Amino acid sequence: MRLERRLEFPDYEATRVFLEQAGELSEAMDVYPNLSFGRTYANLTIFADEDSGELTAQAQTFAERIEQLLG
């Protein structure tokens, strides 16, 4: 199981700002999603915990915080 979110941005600057914020959140929460991005998009994938096969509470909180970033 995993959480996937595709995000579109008006320009590279907006993409870059989002990536920086997501990076700070990753370091703060020690949750590192896969982020696949180009000039005006970013696909975010959070993988389930390998043992439990579930999203950890930490990963779910991270996903919620990302949603708040996007406002």
Interface residues with a second copy (CB under 8 A)? 12, 16, 19, 23, 26-27, 32-39
Q: What's the rounded Cα separation, in Å, for the pair 49 and 40?
A: 29
**For residues 33 and 59, which CB has a smaller minimum distance to a second copy in the complex?**
33
Ramachandran class of 54: left when φ > 0, alpha when ψ lies in -120 to 50, beta otherwise: beta
Maximum pairwise Cα distance, the chain: 39
- Token pair of 71, please? 């406002």
Least distance CB 36 / a second copy (angstroms): 4
**For residues 27 and 67, which CB has a smaller minimum distance to a second copy in the complex?**
27
Least distance CB 1 / a second copy (angstroms): 18
